[in-house]
Amino acid sequence: MPTFNDPVTDAEEASQALRGLAHATRTFDNPADTYAVIGDLLGGVRSLRQVLDQLAGAHTANRVRAHDDAGDQTAGATFALSAANDLQHAASLLDGVHDRLDVAMSASGRIAWHDVPAAPESVRRWISVVFLQGDDADQVLNLIDRDGTDAAIEHLAGFDYGEETVQAALVNGYVYDTPPTGALDKTATRDVYTLTYSPFLGHVSLLREHDAFPDPVLLGIDTPTPAPHRETEPHRESEAARATTARAASQRRAPQEVLDDEDEWSASRSSSPSRGRSL
């Protein structure tokens, strides 16, 4: 607390208070608090200007008592007048600081601070990569029983042709806000893929998060490359469309044909090791 009569004690306390303020103003949880802080600083600058004037006056009034270390009073008086002159100059410089703070406070007082609007939640969607039933699904269900769901996801990821699969799903309407599941379906996830399957109903489905690609390290495959233009390899488009067309797709394809298509896609990833698609 200020003493109002002990300049040494009050100066030390003011210095500590400014140190604390410098630390506290590193962050503002409520930016509206800046207005109050500027106002207090403005009052502080006025007081500091008065202090500098009074310090200059003390040096001038007591110059007859001033000596240097060798006891020379003339030299001491000269130093006292020099200190007084610099203190008065510092006080005059504070006039500009006061004026700028006053303008800043006026501008800050016109601000209506609002809360930062909450960022909109990103909409997650899933696209169908492949839906299998019948004999094709039975092979994958056997794989799940034998090696687990991760192996099945890696196996069915061979039907994913990247952007071409996304476009085929959009055209055919196989885009979902949540992975579609039935009462008897089981689910498993790995990276961006969601596997749904039902041993009771005999179907298997693989979905991928829209605008996402699988982690090549996690799946042990190379990063999927963009699908070729249909002018160069038109058969790829029909394969992706068949892979994302649900029951109609599985009815048109024999089990061996499914495996042949997967082998062809595996071969196109020339840098990837064989993933053992044959069951």
* Nearest-angstrom CA–CA distance, 85 and 91: 10
Sequence-distant (≥ 6) Cβ neighbours of residue 2 within 8 angstroms: 10, 13
187 has which bridge partners? 196
pLDDT reading at 117 higher than 90: no
Joined together, the tokens standing for residue 116 give: 């930062």
Segment 265-272 shows an average pLDDT of 43
* Nearest-angstrom CA–CA distance, 105 and 203: 70
Sequence-distant (≥ 6) Cβ neighbours of residue 274 within 8 angstroms: 266
Going by the DSSP 8-state scheme, the letter that residue 218 receives in this structure is: H
pLDDT above 70 as % of the chain: 75
Domain ranges of the chain: 31-108, 126-268
Predicted local distance difference test score (pLDDT) of residue 219: 53
**pLDDT tens-digit series, residues 57-92:** 999 999 999 999 999 999 999 999 999 999 999 999
CB hemisphere CA count around 104 (13 angstroms): 15
pLDDT reading at 24 higher than 60: yes
- Tracing tokens 């996830």 back to the chain, one arrives at 189
**pLDDT tens-digit series, residues 34-48:** 999 999 999 999 999
| pLDDT band for position 210 (cuts 50, 70, 90) | confident
Q: Helix, strand, coil proportions of the chain in percent (round to 5)?
A: 55, 10, 35
Cα 8 from chain centroid (whole Å) = 50
Residue type for 182, please?
G
Q: Is 35 helix (H, G, I), strand (E, B) or coil?
A: helix
- CA atoms 25, 28, 33, 38: torsion sign: positive
